[in-house]
Structure formats: C-alpha cells, structure tokens
Structure 1
Amino acid sequence: MAHSTERTGAYSELVAMTALTANGYTVSKPFTKEKYDLIAEDPLGHTARYQVKTIHRRADRNNDLVVFATTGGGKRYNQSDFDYFIAVLGDENEPPRAFLFENTGQREYWATESRAAKRWVELSITLNRALLAGLDMTTLNEGVTH
C-alpha cells in the first residue's frame, strides 16, 4: 500500500492536471523520472515545465500557506529545472484549489491567503467550456482568478 505522502502527492498532481486542462492547457506527464512533474502547452501555444507541490498550512503561523520547494532529498530546485510550480491546497471538506507561480529557486514559498491571491495565479478547477470550444481568448478571463 502506498504511503500517505505518496497518495497526497498523486492527488495534488491530479488536481493540477485538472486545473490546467479546465483552463485550456494540453497536459503531458513524462514517462521518465524528471525534476518536473508535468509539461503543458497553454491556449496560446507556449509550452512550460511544472513541478507540483502540496500546500501546507502552518498552525504556528496563523495558518499561512507554505510550499516546501525541495526534492525528496531536501535540496532546493534550480530555476533551470522547470519553469513553474503548481501548488495544490486541499483543506479538509473543501474543494481543492490550485495556484500557479514562477520557480525562483527558493526552498520555501510562504504567503497569507490575501497575499497568495495577489502574488500567485489561482487556476479554477471548473471546466471552462467556452475556452475549450475555442472562442476568442480576450473574452475568457473568468477561468483564472488573480
């Protein structure tokens, strides 16, 4: 049986893939072990590499959000390893939330809820049918929350 952290990581990856797909990205998962978890092409045709992480709430810091941005061995990622993080928040009895932000090579990324809303891009997990139908991109801002 898989360890609970492995199950949580798999859950976060599935939520990240759902969020990207719901917002018109084409998502691929590499077969080989890489420093990134996903490759995705956005609706405008730009391709990037993504590392998926689970967001933790720190009870000792007013429930601030923290993303531990290290490898399984505890080493920080380099900026050249991948382009973006997708961090998944899975609060108890709440729908999951996915946040996108640039890999700047830090070991940890901290934010309050309000600061995360300004600094990270929240990707809706709700299917955006208009986007998937290929309508004009300038009219489709409701799928991404800033």
Structure 2
Amino acid sequence: MSNIAHQTEITGKYSELAARLALLANGWTVHTSETAEAYDVLATEPLTGRHVKIQVKTVRRRSDRERGDGVADLVVYAKKGNGTTYDLSEADYIVGVWAVDGEVPRVFMFENRCLSEYWCSEAKASERWVELSIALNRNLDEPEPEVATLALVA
C-alpha cells in the first residue's frame, strides 16, 4: 500500500530537482540554503545578475476546466500550507513542473502575481509561460531566447 504523504513529498522533491536542472541548463546560478526558507530556490539571473526567489510547484490538469476538445487545462496551485498565496517577499517567480509518467518533465516559469492558481491550455502553455528546457545550453554567452525574455520582463 502506498503512503500518499510520501508520494506527495517525492513528487515535490522531483519537481524541485527538475526546476533546478532547468535553471542550471539555461545559465542560472542556483544557490542552496542551509536553513528552511519560504522559497524553494534562490537563483541568480544570467543576464542581470539579480538574485530571485523561486517557488516550485507541480503542474496538474484541472478537470473542471475542460475545453471543447475534452482536454483539461493545466493549473499550478500556488498556495502555502496554510492556504494563503505567496507574496512578493516570498517568491519573485513561480516555476511549474509538468511531469507525466514516463516522459521528460516540462518546466515553466512565470512571475509571481500573488494568485492562488495559474492556469492555461496545454496548447498555450509555452506561449503564456516561459518554458525552460532541461537540455544543457553550453553557449552561455548567448542564453536561450526564453531566458533573455524573462530577464528583461522582470
């Protein structure tokens, strides 16, 4: 019998590691905290050198938001354990990791707007959110366009 709390913890850790991998692959410097913090990841933007706080969440399908084609929208629930949203002192960005069994995870990043959930259709996800590849970008002098766009928006 599976322990649901244990599975939730594994999924959360997996999402955080995928987020860190995607950030590193795109030239971000990822920092590790020695103490528990409100954010999951502290990272340095590759273009500006600005330190940002990132909250990592798992992307899910929202069954009550199906489109005409029967496919449910993607949603990132961005609430803390006490049910409140993350304010800007706790997270500059939200990273959503969409991990489908047996597939390479997709990592999406967007500004924290202090909402309890962020959603969009699967077809629009890479347009509405910045998708970070987990493939290594060794040409760090010329970051991927998505990273440059995100850094300029912030």
* TM-score bucket (shorter structure): 0.7 to 0.9
TM-score, length of structure 1 as denominator length: 0.86
For 1:33, the equivalent position in structure 2 comes to 36
Aligned CA RMSD, in angstroms, stands at 2.1
Contact 1:50 1:83 in 2 (8 A): yes
Q: Match for 1:58: what amino acid?
A: R
Does residue 1:110 correspond to 2:114, yes or no? Answer: no
CA contact 2:96–2:107 (8 Å) conserved in 1: yes
Count of residues paired in the alignment: 140
Instruction: Tell whether 2:81 aligns with 1:81.
Output: no
What residue ranges of structure 1 are gaps of 5+ in the alignment?
none
Structure 2 spans left out of the alignment, 5+ residues: 67-71, 150-154
CA contact (8 A) 2:62 2:73 kept: yes
Q: Tell me how far apart the structure 2 counterparts of residues 48 and 35 of structure 1 sit (CA, whole Å).
A: 12
Please list the CA deviations of residues 61-82 of structure 1 after superposition, one character each: whole Å capped at 9, or x if unmatched. 2321111100112221112221
Aligned equivalent of 1:130 = 139
- Percent identity at matched positions? 50
**Structure 1 residue 72 and structure 2 residue 81: aligned?**
yes
The TM-score with structure 2 as length reference comes to 0.82
Equivalent of residue 141 in structure 1, options 125, 141, 144: 144
Match of 1:9 among 12, 29, 32: 12
Letter in 2 for 1:107: S
